[in-house]
Structure formats: C-alpha cells, structure tokens
Copies of this chain bind each other. A is one copy, B any other.
Amino acid sequence: MSGNTFGKNFKLTTFGESHGDAIGGVIDGCPAGILIDLDFIQTELDRRKPGQSKIVTQRKESDKVQFFSGIFEGKTTGTPIGFMIPNENKKSQDYDHLKDFFRPSHADFTYQQKYGYRDFRGGGRSSARETACRVVGGAIAKQIINSISIQAYVSSVGNISLTKNYNELDLTLIESNDVRCPDFEVANQMENLIKDLKKNGDTIGGIITCVIKNVPIGLGNPVFDRLEAELAKAMLSINASKGFEFGSGFDGTTMFGSQHNDYFNVDGTTKTNYSGGIQGGISNGMDIYFRVAFKPVATLLQKQEMLSVLGELKEIEGRGRHDACVLPRAVPIVEAMAALVLADFII
C-alpha cells in the first residue's frame, strides 16, 4: 500500500494532497558536507509553478519551500532533509460538485476502488501538485551530481514536432520561451496550438526529450536495476506519462545490427550513439538521451459525462483552472526524476 519513496540510496519520500494543508517530503541518504543553494531550489520550483505564463494553469501558488532539517549553516549534515510547501490556493468547495463523481481518465475511480475512501478535492494525492516535491528532491540531487548536466525540452506538442536531434539544437534556448522548446519557430507554433485549445477548454499531449551529459562511466546495476530500467520507472511514475524510449528507441527496431552497433574510438568513446549512453544497463560515458510521451490532460473545461458512485452517468460542466498542455511544466519534473535516478547510483 505504500509506494511514496523513490530511490534506494538517495531516497525521496513525498506526502501531500492537492487541497490539504501542505505537501512535502523527506530526503534520506544525502551525503554530508554539500553546500546547498536554496535559491536554485526555488528557481527550479518556479519552472514548475502554476501561473508562470499564460499557457499554464492559473492556480495561485507561490510554492515556497520550507526546510526543517538536514541542512546546517548552509551545508548538508548527512541527516534527513525534511521540507514542506504550503498549499495556499486550496479551494475545497470548488470540488464539492465532484464529490460523488468519477471524472473520465482520472484516478478518481481507481482510488475509490483501491482504498474505499478518497480525498476527492482536486484529485487529492493523484494530483500533479505532488510533483513539486519531486522538483525539490531533484534540485538537491542536481547539486550532488553537479558535474553532470541534465537538460529536458519539449520536442513535440500534438502534431507539431522538432525535426532536429538534440545535438543540432541550441539547448541554451530552452528557457527562453514559455513552451520550453529550443527552436523559436516551432515553439511559436506550439504556443499557438496550446492557446487555441485553452480557449476551447480542450487539451493536447506531447513529448519531452531529455539529454544528460558528462555522465561518469559505470552507473547502473545489472540485471534488474539497470540504468535505463530505473529511468523508465522514474519517467512512467510522472503523472500523464505514457511511454519512454532511450537511444535509438522504437525507431531503432527497424535498423540492422550492422547499422546500429556503435563502433569504438580508441579512447573508449563511440563513433555513433544509438545505445543512448547505456550498454548492458551501465552508462558508458556517452550522452544519455531519452524521450517521454505525455497524454493530453484529462481535465477539460467542457461538458463531460461522468460516473457517479451510485452508478449513474451524468454530464457535468468542467470549471476552474487547468493546463491545456502539461508539457512546459513537465520539463523540470523530467529533469528532477532523472537527477534522482543518477544521484541514487552515484552516492
């Protein structure tokens, strides 16, 4: 019945519901003596924050994190880091009309069936609000693994896709637009699509690409706890994610072995990198890159048929705040989860 801890060595445990008093967590296993940049943590949270731009949900949350322990005079002590983010904009009454209904493609029905009892306010525990705690954990993890760079960006929204590979793009541009796509023209198209859908109360999915550079050789534990397996678990644990591929991924299935094999240079690097930086479950020092699919958000500002706890179907008007597309806000979450995976193998 548990499942709220990620990692075996660098462990993040999170708690909190969307409209409870607070969300928060504990990081256990953080090495001692690491200088922690609290401003950086807040900056990461701001990248995930609602209301950060016109194309995301307008829920009002400052998402200010408070630390209770584990950091003393600016440095980690090796003891658990407890933290909390108050829920400022909780509006239970916004959800009273949904109390007895299961929204389609949400967790309402499955939580009710599994637990027999649920906090129905805004999805309760199943809300993506929980991912703010992952961003806190990831921002600390990034400071542990700090020579490694992790960069994620939106590579498609609906049918609008980047056609270039990550190494043909200028990744310093990711944060220069609201969509977090490092190509202005494509970003612009994505933004327009999202705005149009927002007007209609509809939503759209997309794909995030993540690139990890300067990875030390040797991360990953075969046979089950391979690096790619842990990354896959991490990414599929993010709300609304539907798929994961690394290196050549699904496209690589159509290649011949003689094309796909990555031949060595004398220094141990490889001439190509279809392997995506991982061989036999262990990093080989080349760039790790992977893609994560996200479905369209299930919350619509449209009339939708819902199922009542009594087994009746009823059309109910969606209302309130929503993301027409989670991709821009999911970028820091993907990075955070990648950082947690890497920290878990490194410490």
| Chain B residues whose CB sits within 8 angstroms of the CB of A230 once the complex forms | 233
In the complex, A273→B249 CA distance in Å? 24
| In the assembled complex, A20 has its CB within 8 A of some CB on chain B | yes
In the complex, A249→B83 CA distance in Å? 34
Main secondary structure of the interface of A (DSSP, over half): mixed
| In the assembled complex, A178 has its CB within 8 A of some CB on chain B | no
Query: Is A257's CB under 8 angstroms from B296's CB?
Result: yes
| In the assembled complex, A195 has its CB within 8 A of some CB on chain B | no
Query: Is B26's CB under 8 angstroms from A279's CB?
Result: no
In the complex, A137→B69 CA distance in Å? 19
Closest to A118 in B: B77
In the complex, A247→B205 CA distance in Å? 14
| Chain B residues whose CB sits within 8 angstroms of the CB of A284 once the complex forms | 109-110, 113
Min CB distance A333 to B, Å, is 12
In the complex, A28→B2 CA distance in Å? 5
In the complex, A245→B293 CA distance in Å? 8
| In the assembled complex, A332 has its CB within 8 A of some CB on chain B | no
| In the assembled complex, A213 has its CB within 8 A of some CB on chain B | no
| Chain B residues whose CB sits within 8 angstroms of the CB of A262 once the complex forms | 104-105
In the complex, A245→B226 CA distance in Å? 18
User: Which residues of A pack against B, CB within 8 Å?
Assistant: 1-6, 9, 11, 13-17, 20-26, 28-33, 66-70, 72, 75-82, 84, 102, 104-107, 109-111, 113-119, 124-126, 130, 156, 158-159, 197, 202-207, 217-218, 220-226, 228-237, 241-250, 252-264, 266-268, 270, 274-276, 279-284, 291, 293-300, 302, 304-307, 311-313, 347
A130-B223, A205-B255 known; A243-B250 Cβ under 8 A: yes
| Chain B residues whose CB sits within 8 angstroms of the CB of A67 once the complex forms | 21
Min CB distance A275 to B, Å, is 6
In the complex, A306→B268 CA distance in Å? 10
Query: Is B77's CB under 8 angstroms from A264's CB?
Result: no
| Chain B residues whose CB sits within 8 angstroms of the CB of A69 once the complex forms | 15-17, 20-24, 125
Query: Is B237's CB under 8 angstroms from A224's CB?
Result: yes
| Chain B residues whose CB sits within 8 angstroms of the CB of A291 once the complex forms | 250
A119-B72, A124-B79 known; A218-B264 Cβ under 8 A: no
